[in-house]
Amino acid sequence: MTSNETPRPLRSLLYVPGDKPRAIEKAPGLGADAVILDLEDAVAPEHKADARRDVQDALSGRWPVPVFVRVNGLGTEWEHEDREMALMAGVNGLVLPKVEDARAVQALHLRVPLWAMIETPRGVLAAPEIAAVAGVAGLLVGANDLARALRTRPDPERRPLLHALSAVVLSARAHGKVPVDAVFNDVRDAEGFARECAQGRTLGFAGKTVIHPGQVAGANAAYGVSDEEAQTARQLLAAWTQARAQGLSVVAHNGALIEQMHADEAQEQLDLWAAARRL
């Protein structure tokens, strides 16, 4: 990727259990923007070693999308073997669960991008410092563990978590990193999933982690740019280009005043639309 090329969209990041070879085999063709091979929560302790070998085998093949590995967390008995395997196998990034200490992340000196999971109260409070670490590519919300730690009650609008969700977005965006929203647990509830995707995009997330192939298309649509949105952006940019040629700094377009900020946003939308079409 050149310095002028729009980064690859990460609208959907599909978790796949590391001890399910058939699911791993299908994962590259499911349309997700990235795949996370999971060695942590999706794998029981007695299956960790087998899962590590299965993931190692999977990483030896060619993948049409970036593939990350969620390793077991710092202080667990599996952490070193997980990281060593993934790094030696040429993974595109590591997902580290339950990150709470920026200094611990910085001390890892990894050779690949790190995706830090924010899923505890201490993690939320430390999110600005974690996002500031040079090797961190983005912050992923782990809402299930966070809700449990906060002792919240279930809420379809996620109101008890809104402060924490926004804190993660704010921390990531402040340091130019990618904020990714949490999974939606009920794979049968397409309407609820769509509602949560819309909420996440409104909050400022760039994409969503998903746990079922049936959620991929919805996440891609919610966090992508539609053809209609792209056309609207083109029209705004055309009006802005004409206004600037006339020496204007502000111009009325479709009943609203637009300025450079709106033109920059429209260009970003077009860049994301084009980047997604190249996938």
88 and 217 together in one domain: yes
24 and 138 together in one domain: yes
121 and 194 together in one domain: yes
75 and 195 together in one domain: yes
- Residues in the chain, pLDDT under 70: 1-6
CATH number of the domain enclosing 69? 3.20.20.60
pLDDT confidence of residue 5: 56
Per the CB < 8 A criterion, the answer to whether 12 and 215 are in contact is: yes
260 and 148 together in one domain: no
Is the residue at 140 inside a domain? yes
34 and 108 together in one domain: yes
127 and 209 together in one domain: yes
* Residue where a domain stops, chosen among 184, 201, 223: 223
Domain residue limits at 270: 227-277
The residues, ordered by sequence, that sit 6+ positions from 69 with a Cβ below 8 Å of its Cβ are 18, 36, 37, 38, 39, 55, 59, 82, 86, 91, 93, 94, 95
Is the residue at 260 inside a domain? yes
SS3 212: coil
pLDDT confidence of residue 109: 86
Predicted TM-score of the model (pTM): 0.92
69 and 133 together in one domain: yes
241 and 163 together in one domain: no
pLDDT confidence of residue 221: 96
The Cα-based distances of 228 to 222, 224, 247, 270, 273 in angstroms read 13, 11, 29, 11, 10
The Cα-based distances of 106 to 100, 121, 139, 173, 180 in angstroms read 12, 20, 15, 19, 21
204 and 244 together in one domain: no
How many separate domains does the chain show? 2
Helices (H) and strands (E) in the chain, counts: 11, 10
| Cα(156)–Cα(180) distance, integer angstroms | 19
Q: Which of 184, 91, 197 is nearest to 137 (CA)?
A: 91
Is the residue at 83 inside a domain? yes
139 and 182 together in one domain: yes
Q: pLDDT tens digits for 66-105?
A: 999 999 999 999 999 999 999 999 999 999 999 999 999 9
SS3 3: coil
204 and 243 together in one domain: no
